Amino acid sequence: MEPSKLANRTISLYEAIDIAYRSNPLTRQSWFLTQSAAADVGSRRSAYYPVLEADASGVRQKQSSLGGSVTVLSTTYTPSLSLNWLLLDLGGRGADVEEAKRRLYAADFTHNAAMNDIALGVAQAYYSYQGARALLVAQEASLKQAQENYAAAEERHRAGVATIADVLQARTVLSQQKLAYDQVSGQIQTFRGQLATALGVPVNLPVDAADLPADVHEDASVASVDRLIAEAERSRPDLAAARARAQAAHAHVASARSAGLPSLSASALGARNYYEFVGETVPSTTNYSMGLFLRVPLFTGFKTLYDTRSAEAQASAADAGADSYSQQVIFQVWSSYFGVQTAAQQVRASKDLLESAKESAEVARGRYREGVGSILDLLTAESALANALAQDVTSRAGFLLAVAQLAHDTGSADTALVPVPPRKEAR
């Protein structure tokens, strides 16, 4: 989608991820690296084909003898065609091709990992922006209530049923709510800029996100942590890339070892010489040669031995690196899984807290209007309600962020692991 078509549009998370895949420069970078790796495979395979080369030369020659009394000018034209073909190398070319193929697989998996990272980055920016906007709505409601409380305190003071202390306390709370509202309002633009950057579009492009959902299905079931770990070991593209690089390192061992093995090659050369002397043309001559060449390395100063040992050590290091990365992936899934469980509990707790805070605030307002409650009780209840509203928004956005992190750590794309609400039984 063209960036200009996003202006003043509200996009879903799916649209945002699709836009990022098309527009984010990191996607293009990893894709071109994949194309480079694919071309390298073709380059390594070229060693199986003969090398055919055409050459041509022209020589103008002057020869003098007898003190310069006899001078001969001649011109020679020599087109030639040569062929060289490695017929047998005992596995060197095959190892080079296999190494290049494994590096291509690693590049492909790295490209997939880059897309997985982009999806996570977009989801994080999207949910953070949604959360900030929802928090602003909550702060606006709290600010409106603080204004009503301040007006009520002033009215009661004018009626002589409240002290100036009540008015001052209400005004203090109103000022605090204004400050909180202004802070969230300023943060929204920062989160919107983060979303635009994650999409790969200009930060000043007026693009908007949907509202934070009121129900995030925190009670929906998620697969067991053991199953998610197994899924991550099977599907995480960055882990697959690390394993592919280790396999490429093992293929390089065979390539290094083959440098000390015999090889058989063929060579052929054909050329025709054309001669021209001053005032005379000599018939051309044709020359050719063909041969087989056996190369048997006898001693290279132990170069092949040490190159092979170096390649083996690098392969072992790559294996260890892949194993270490696998452990990191397992920990990430483990941590993300329990992060989702904790976030779900926080959503449920914040719902209960919000309901209690609403009831408490309603009772405090009624008591204050009837003149049997103090301003302190009212402001305390309203403060608790404001905190509960903010906590409810934060917990819902945090749950969505936790689910997105778990999906990323499992390697299941952007929203594949988003919990689905359980089906209701038909009555």
Single pTM value for the model: 0.81
How would you write 107-140 as a 3-class SS string?
Answer: HHHHHHHHHHHHHHHHHHHHHHHHHHHHHHHHHH
Q: Do residues 242 and 320 make contact, with C-beta atoms less than 8 angstroms apart?
A: no
pLDDT tens over the chain, length 427 residues: 555 566 667 888 888 888 888 888 889 999 999 999 999 999 999 999 999 999 999 888 877 776 666 677 878 889 999 999 999 998 899 999 999 999 999 999 999 999 999 999 999 999 999 999 999 999 888 898 888 888 888 888 888 777 888 888 888 988 988 998 998 888 888 898 888 888 888 877 777 888 898 888 888 777 889 999 999 999 999 999 999 999 999 999 999 999 999 999 999 999 998 887 766 667 788 889 999 999 999 998 999 999 999 999 999 999 999 999 999 999 999 999 999 999 999 999 999 999 999 999 889 888 887 777 788 888 888 889 889 999 999 999 999 999 999 999 998 754 444 444 444 443 3
- Name the strand (E) or helix (H) holding 272: strand 263-277
CA distances (Å), origin 334, targets 88, 231, 252, 331: 51, 12, 35, 5
Q: Count the Cβ atoms, other than its own, within 10 Å of residue 221.
A: 10
Q: CB-based burial of residue 112 (10 Å sphere; 0-12 exposed, 13-18 middle, 19+ buried)?
A: buried
Who's near 249: CB < 8 A, 6+ residues apart? Answer: 311, 314, 315, 317, 318, 319
**What does the alpha-carbon distance between residue 354 and residue 391 come to, in Å, rounded to a whole number?**
8
DSSP annotation of 289? E
Q: Which of 200, 223, 285 shows the shortest CA–CA distance to 28?
A: 200
Token pair for 360:
């408490």
**What does the alpha-carbon distance between residue 289 and residue 269 come to, in Å, rounded to a whole number?**
5
Q: Do residues 364 and 340 make contact, with C-beta atoms less than 8 angstroms apart?
A: no
How does strand 51-65 pair with strand 70-88?
antiparallel
